[in-house]
A = this chain, B = another copy of it.
Amino acid sequence: MPERIYNFSPGPATLPVEVLEEAARDIVNFKNKGIGLIELSHRSKEFMAVAEETETLIRQLLAVPENYKVLFLQGGASSQFFMIPMNLLGNGKKATYLNTGVWSKKAIKEAENFGDITVAYSSADVSFNRVPQENEYNVTPGSEYLYLVSNNTIYGTQFASFPEKETMLVCDMSSDILSRPLDIAKFGIIFAGAQKNMGPAGVTVVIIRDDLLDRVADNVPTMLKYKTHADKSSMFNTPPTFAIYCVGRVMNWLKAQGGVAAMQKINEKKASQIYQVIDSGDFYRGHAEKASRSMMNIAFNLPTSELEAKFISEAAAVGLDGLKGHRSIGGCRASIYNAFPAEGVDKLVDFMTGFAADNS
Contacts and interface: CB of A to CB of B under 8 A. Distances in A.
A86 B9 CA distance: 35
A12 B32 contact: no
Contacts of A77: 237
Contacts of A82: 221-224
Interface in A15-37: 15, 17, 20-21, 23-25, 27-29, 32-36
Nearest to A240: B202
Contact of A36 (B1, B20, B86, B201): B20
A12 B38 contact: yes
A193 B9 contact: no
A77 B38 CA distance: 18
Number of copies: 2
Question: In terms of DSSP, what is the predominant structure of the interface of chain A?
Answer: loop
B202 A10 contact: no
A144 interface: no
| Tier of interface size on chain A | 35 or more
Contacts of A241: 12, 200-202
A2 to B, nearest CB: 4
A86 B86 CA distance: 15
Contact of A10 (B12, B41, B75, B113): B41
A44 interface: yes
Nearest to A236: B78
